[in-house]
């Protein structure tokens, strides 16, 4: 059987390159070809950067031939969510308002990976300004789930999840403000990590809600996730919320033996609304991990049912302020027909933004308006503090938590797009980690009877990524869910 370059892990691709079994050009060409072939079907990419990618790959091949030192990700193709700025490469945030925007700089997370030699093959589709849970809110059309083209791949990082699942790039970057890496990872059968708030830089990420946003990682295996995290988790002088901490050597620590852990099962995450098949798969995982000597205890996070209301006050409030900059003057689309400045603002925003974005701007301005700010925004901040404290208390008793990533597997295209509330509910188990700034990972945990992937979530205390990765790695080594590929 011939070697499928799109199915390699980062480690396999790296050793293949070093042993000259293939070149970076071949590896990148294979990823580009897969992206181009699949895009009419999946719509994972808004922009495919063929020329730039091949040029970079050739430079890396030259450096390898000259025996110059190359980075740890040299020649590895990656996909980047179109909400991370890339210098001189169109960055749309999946919005019409930024249709022709070419940023003057590159996001730190992308830059660090490029410094290690990774090659971006394109910018992935997503919900407009990362607002959504299905990928359907993109001005460039919905992304399809590679496991079932009638279904959504999850969102908002829809294209990054679908790209990694379908082999267009060996890994991808996304952003996770309320689950946008973990929920699509779960729906698409890949690994998705949201690091601790402050673990890596948000510089160059088009801001949605600054106190919740975090760059996240999609890979096909836990080892690959540890490798990419190790390269991007750095304090950044350009983002004052990054924490000055040494970065653990995640790939090395992955191999360390895991002492028996106490793992919490929060009872509020195992409620009736969770699909029965998902419950069964998660219970199987608990059983298997139990046999490895880990102890499970039921815990309670009583304010879990307040997390979504809190999120949908804080997020729109911050988003309405962050999105005020799109006024037709400085960036992107500008309504040419406007007669004066006020109508330039109004027309640009009316025509440039999609309906979900408008909905959230209206909600956000409302909850911040004089007379309502204490009642909504102020109150939400207080409840946010209670949610954080509840997690702190639970982590006195347990090392980490295990939950379903989402209450259902991938839903059908169009199923929830007319019902914002139903859509918001699909983030019920993921928003909590953003509210509390905690690291969390979704890993493949099986398939439903209709062959849709299901994810399991691990949530840990701040900066416990290494522990989460080791537990995820142990589970991965006992199962082969991650090795299953969508039909082609």
Interface stretch with ligand GLN, choices 98-106, 129-137, 159-167, 375-383 (CB under 6 A): 129-137
Q: What angle do CA 391, 309, 404 make, to 5 degrees?
A: 55
Q: Please tell me whether residue 133 binds ligand GLN under the rule CB under 6 A.
A: yes
Contacts with 172 (C-beta within 8 Å, 6 or more apart), sequence order: 78, 79, 80, 81, 124, 157, 160, 161, 163, 164, 217, 218
175 or 457, CB closer to ligand GLN? 175
Q: Are 143 and 164 in contact (CB under 8 A)?
A: no
Told to judge if 81 belongs to the known catalytic residues of this protein, a careful annotator would answer yes
CA-to-CA dists, residue 74 to 170, 199, 205, 223, angstroms: 12, 23, 23, 17
Told to judge if 267 belongs to the known catalytic residues of this protein, a careful annotator would answer no
- In the region spanning residues 418 to 477, those forming contacts with ligand GLN, defined by CB under 6 A, are 427
* Per-residue burial over 205-239, b = 16 or more CB atoms within 10 Å of its CB, e = otherwise: bbbbbebbbbbbbbbbbbbbbbbbbbbbbbbbeeb
74 or 208, CB closer to ligand GLN? 208
> For ligand GLN, what does the binding mask look like between residues 106 and 125, x meaning CB under 6 A?
--------------------
List 95, 138, 156, 426, catalytic entry: 156
CB of 156 to ligand GLN, least distance (A): 4
191 or 315, CB closer to ligand GLN? 315
Compute CA 357 distance to the chain's CA centroid, rounded to the nearest angstrom: 19
What letter does residue 127 receive in the DSSP assignment? S
CB of 10 to ligand GLN, least distance (A): 25
Tell me which of 14, 16, 77, 132 binds ligand GLN, using CB under 6 A: 132
85 or 131, CB closer to ligand GLN? 131
Tell me which of 31, 120, 207, 208 binds ligand GLN, using CB under 6 A: 208
- In the region spanning residues 151 to 180, those forming contacts with ligand GLN, defined by CB under 6 A, are 156, 175-180
Q: Are 108 and 236 in contact (CB under 8 A)?
A: yes
CB of 319 to ligand GLN, least distance (A): 9
List 24, 81, 95, 123, catalytic entry: 81
End-to-end, the C-alpha distance of the chain in Å comes to 17
Cα–Cα distance, 179 to 313 (Å, whole number): 16
Q: What does 220-246 look like in DSSP terms, one character per residue?
A: SSHHHHHHHHHHH---BTTBTTS---P
- In the region spanning residues 324 to 363, those forming contacts with ligand GLN, defined by CB under 6 A, are none
CB of 181 to ligand GLN, least distance (A): 7
93 or 119, CB closer to ligand GLN? 93
Tell me which of 315, 394, 433, 458 binds ligand GLN, using CB under 6 A: 315
CA-to-CA dists, residue 78 to 15, 35, 46, 169, 449, angstroms: 17, 11, 14, 5, 31
CB of 133 to ligand GLN, least distance (A): 4
Told to judge if 156 belongs to the known catalytic residues of this protein, a careful annotator would answer yes
Q: Please tell me whether residue 186 binds ligand GLN under the rule CB under 6 A.
A: no
List 134, 158, 180, 186, catalytic entry: 180
CB of 160 to ligand GLN, least distance (A): 12
Hey, which residues are catalytic here? 81, 156, 180
Query: Where do contacts with ligand GLN occur on this chain (CB under 6 A)?
Result: 130-133, 156, 175-180, 208, 315, 427
């Amino acid at each position: 059987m011939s070697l499928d370059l799109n199915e390699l892990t980062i480690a396999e691709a790296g050793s293949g390159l070093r042993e000259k079994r293939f070149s970076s050009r071949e590896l990148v060409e294979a990823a580009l070809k897969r992206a181009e072939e699949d895009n009419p079907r999946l719509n994972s990419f808004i922009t495919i950067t063929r020329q730039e990618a091949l040029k970079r790959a050739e430079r890396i091949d030259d450096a390898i031939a000259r025996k110059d030192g190359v980075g740890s990700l040299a020649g590895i193709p990656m996909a980047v969510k179109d909400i991370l700025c890339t210098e001189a490469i169109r960055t749309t945030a999946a919005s019409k308002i930024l249709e022709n925007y070419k940023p003057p700089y590159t996001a730190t997370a992308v830059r660090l990976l490029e410094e290690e030699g990774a090659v971006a093959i394109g910018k992935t589709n997503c919900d407009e300004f990362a607002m959504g849970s299905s990928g359907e809110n993109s001005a460039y059309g919905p992304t399809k789930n590679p496991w079932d083209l009638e279904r959504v791949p999850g969102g908002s990082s829809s294209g990054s999840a679908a790209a990694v699942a379908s082999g267009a790039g060996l890994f991808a970057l996304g952003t996770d403000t309320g689950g946008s890496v973990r929920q699509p990872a779960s729906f698409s059968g890949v690994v998705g990590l949201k690091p601790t708030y402050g673990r890596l830089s948000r510089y160059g990420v088009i801001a949605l809600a600054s106190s919740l946003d975090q760059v996240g990682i999609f890979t096909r295996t836990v080892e690959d996730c540890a490798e990419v995290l190790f390269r991007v988790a750095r304090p950044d002088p350009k983002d004052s919320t990054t924490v000055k901490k040494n970065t653990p050597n995640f790939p090395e620590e992955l191999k360390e033996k895991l002492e028996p852990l106490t793992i919490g099962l929060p009872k509020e995450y195992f409620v009736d609304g969770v699909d029965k098949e998902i419950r069964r798969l998660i219970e199987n995982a608990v059983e298997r991990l139990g046999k490895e000597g880990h102890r499970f205890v039921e815990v309670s996070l009583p304010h879990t049912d307040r997390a979504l209301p809190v999120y949908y006050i804080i997020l729109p409030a911050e988003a309405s302020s962050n999105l005020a900059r799109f006024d037709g003057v400085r960036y992107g689309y500008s309504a040419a027909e406007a007669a004066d400045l006020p109508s330039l603002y109004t027309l640009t925003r009316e025509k440039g933004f999609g309906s979900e974005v408008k909905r959230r701007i209206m909600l956000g301005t409302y909850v911040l308006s004089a007379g309502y700010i204490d009642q909504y925004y102020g109150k939400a901040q207080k409840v946010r503090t209670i949610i954080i404290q509840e997690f702190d208390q639970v982590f006195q008793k347990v090392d980490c938590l295990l939950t379903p990533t989402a209450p259902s597997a991938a839903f059908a295209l169009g199923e929830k797009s007319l019902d914002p509330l139903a859509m918001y509910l699909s983030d019920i188990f993921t928003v909590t980690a953003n509210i509390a700034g905690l690291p969390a990972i979704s890993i493949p945990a099986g398939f439903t009877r209709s062959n849709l992937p299901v994810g399991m979530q691990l949530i840990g205390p701040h900066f416990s990524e290494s522990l989460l990765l080791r537990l995820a790695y142990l589970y991965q080594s006992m199962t082969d869910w991650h090795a299953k590929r969508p039909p082609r």
